[in-house]
Amino acid sequence: MQKQNTAIRTLLIVLLSMGSGCSKNSSSTPVVTPPPCTTDFCLLTGYKWEITSQTIATDIGLFTYTTSQAKKISWANFTFKKDSSYKTDAGDQGTFSYTVSSKKMVLYDNLLPLDFTVAFPTNSSLVLSGDTVRMHPRTDPSTTATFSINSIAGSLYNDFGVDTSKIHYFQAKFYYDGF
């Protein structure tokens, strides 16, 4: 019986000393974490966006750039600011407008308006989807369409050896991770 009492006392002493070591210091300030972003605009402007891949869907196939290939484009990294301006690591800067209800962004690149649909698959990933552009027959004579066709067709030819005269339409998507 005395051995049991000694064992119980020893156990109580150990438990009490462990419990007193875990007491909260009343003079410490509590850690406050900022509230999570609850809007798309907050997500868009809350990160620096780094490209992970780019895809170009056409009527002759899907072409995917690897991360190392995609990092060579001037849009490899974006920072969107709350004042509706943006900057890339390549030194490009401009403005953008974003409509929350339609998830549409107009990115002004050298005063040229480029339209994208914006998606956030997760709170730290972003997809910019360009509109589908018809090449053959061409249905949009705008400067924006000309820029898109020249940029994308040139990339497909240079990077994948594609005969772009056989492409009727394309759609480019840019995938980013936020950090």
Domain segments of the chain: what residues?
40-178
Confidence of residue 133 (pLDDT cuts 50, 70, 90): very high
pLDDT in tens, 63-114: 999 999 999 888 899 999 999 999 999 899 999 999 999 999 999 988 889 9
pLDDT at 29: 57
Residue of 164, 153, 159 lying closest to 172 (CA atoms): 153
Question: Quick one: pLDDT at residue 35?
Answer: 56
pLDDT above 70 covers what percent of the chain?
A: 80
What is the model's pLDDT at position 28? 59
Beta bridge partners of 50: 77, 177
CA distance 61 to 64: 10
Cβ proximity of 174 and 47 under 8 Å: no
Highest-confidence segment of 30-34, 42-46, 107-111: 42-46
Contact 132, 97 (CB under 8 A): no
Alpha carbons 35 and 23: distance in angstroms, whole number:
28
pLDDT at 7 over 60: no
Q: Distance (Å, rounded) from C-alpha 22 to C-alpha 156?
A: 62
Percent pLDDT > 90 in the chain is 63
Q: What is the fold of 40-178?
A: Lipocalin (2.40.128)
The CA–CA distances, whole Å, from 55 to 28, 36, 38, 45, 170 equal: 51, 30, 28, 24, 10
Average pLDDT over residues 20-47: 67
Whose structure tokens read 């410490």?
Answer: 28
Burial of 70 (0-12, 13-18, 19+ CB in 10 A): buried
- Average pLDDT of the residues of the chain: 84
What is the rounded average pLDDT of the residues 4-16? Answer: 38
Which of 176, 143, 164 has the alpha carbon at shortest distance from 73?
176
For the chain, the first-to-last Cα distance in angstroms comes to 63
DSSP codes joined into one string, 124-138: TEEEEEEPPEE-SS-
Pick from 24-33, 67-76, 149-158: least confident = 24-33
**Cis (ω within 30 of 0) for the bond into 137?**
yes
pLDDT at 110: 81
Exposure of 69 by Cβ count < 10 A (0-12 exposed, 13-18 middle, 19+ buried)?
Answer: middle
